[in-house]
């Protein structure tokens, strides 16, 4: 990416912050990051980090070749209308859950002529430390150069996975978009459980984090499926079998399945509710 590359974040909240932390200095310096957010306190934080800030769209936005919409799905339509007058030749990337690329393209374009440079994606918060994973999709007419540009931006904060059918992004949202929250919930449970079985808080946290990290890395590096790795931990008549029996009785797998279905359904509902 050349040194003149600059990127605008429309919405400077949690996710913009996570993306910029991973991006800054890898792809473009902070001085080339422009953040638009109505919240004065947030703008002050961005200013302190070295980013350009504005309360509303203006000339600085028009000059950015890449725009990342990082506002809530509920306000994206209104925000697209606010930014549209400043659109010259920029690639529009949306990270809003549920909102379909065709809707954003229609909001940014003219009647009968949707904006052709729209990529929809679903990152996750580990982007903050460069360990994110992002699902991406685009309408069929989007140029390969724009797909490559979006890939390079999201790859700066982790892995990038393209899906052919945009509807699959609702599934990505249910898995990796919301997924860090499921892992944090498990982590909370492990830490509380550790204390319930006699460890102190610090020991529990250390053991829980190392267990999640170690097991995840083992699964990633192994050629064997997770079920086989699970069986290797589970000695006949032993401690793991006792624990898994309780988890199976409680229907843990079904709970996760139903939770993910609820998340995917909600993404699709938000697309209907806040799109079009």
Ligand X SMILES: O=C(O)[C@@H]1CCC=N1
In angstroms, what is the minimal distance from the CB of 177 to ligand NDP? 5
Applying CB under 6 A, does 82 fall inside the site for ligand NDP?
A: yes
79 contact, one of ligand X, ligand NDP, none, CB 5-8 Å limit per kind: ligand NDP
Could you give the CA distance from residue 145 to residue 116 in angstroms, rounded to a whole number? Answer: 12
Nearer to ligand X among residue 50 and residue 184 (C-beta): 184
Applying CB under 6 A, does 216 fall inside the site for ligand NDP?
A: no
Q: Which of 97, 118, 133, 139 binds ligand X (CB under 6 A)?
A: 97
Task: State the number of binding residues for ligand NDP (CB under 6 A).
Answer: 27
Applying CB under 6 A, does 8 fall inside the site for ligand NDP?
A: no
- Cβ-closest residue to ligand NDP? 13
- Cβ-closest residue to ligand X? 177
13 contact, one of ligand NDP, ligand X, none, CB 5-8 Å limit per kind: ligand NDP
By rule CB under 6 A, what string of x and - marks binding of each residue 24-63 to ligand NDP? ------------xxxx--x---------------------
Applying CB under 6 A, does 92 fall inside the site for ligand NDP?
A: no
In angstroms, what is the minimal distance from the CB of 214 to ligand X? 26
Could you give the CA distance from residue 48 to residue 257 in angstroms, rounded to a whole number? Answer: 42
Identify residues 124-183 at the interface with ligand X (CB under 6 A): 173, 177-178
Can you give the binding site for ligand X, defined by CB under 6 A? 97, 173, 177-178
Can you give the binding site for ligand NDP, defined by CB under 6 A? 10-16, 36-39, 42, 70-73, 75, 79, 82, 95-97, 122-125, 177
């Amino acid at each position: 990416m050349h040194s003149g590359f600059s990127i605008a974040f429309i919405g400077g909240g949690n996710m913009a912050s996570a993306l910029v932390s991973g991006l800054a200095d890898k792809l473009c310096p902070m001085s080339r990051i422009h953040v638009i957010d109505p919240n004065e306190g947030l703008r002050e934080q961005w200013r302190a980090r070295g980013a350009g800030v504005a309360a509303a769209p203006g000339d600085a936005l028009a000059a950015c070749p890449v725009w990342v919409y990082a506002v809530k799905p509920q306000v994206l339509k209104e925000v697209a209308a606010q930014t549209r007058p400043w659109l010259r030749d920029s690639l529009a990337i949306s990270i809003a859950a549920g909102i379909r690329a065709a809707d954003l393209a229609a909001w940014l374009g003219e009647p009968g002529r949707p904006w052709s440079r729209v990529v929809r994606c679903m990152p996750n918060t580990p982007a903050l430390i460069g360990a994110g994973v992002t699902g991406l999709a685009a309408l069929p007419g989007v140029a390969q150069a724009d797909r490559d540009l979006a890939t390079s931006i999201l790859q700066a904060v982790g892995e990038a996975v393209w899906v052919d059918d945009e509807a699959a992004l609702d599934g990505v949202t249910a898995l990796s978009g919301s997924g860090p929250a499921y892992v944090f919930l498990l982590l909370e449970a492990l830490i509380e459980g550790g204390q319930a079985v006699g460890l102190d808080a610090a020991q529990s946290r250390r053991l829980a984090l190392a267990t999640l990290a170690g097991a995840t890395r083992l699964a990633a590096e192994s050629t064997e499926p997770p079920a086989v790795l699970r069986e290797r931990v589970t000695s006949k008549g032993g401690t793991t079998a006792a624990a898994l029996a309780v988890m199976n009785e409680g229907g843990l797998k079904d709970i996760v399945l139903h939770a993910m279905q609820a998340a995917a359904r909600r993404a699709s509902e938000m697309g209907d509710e806040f799109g079009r």
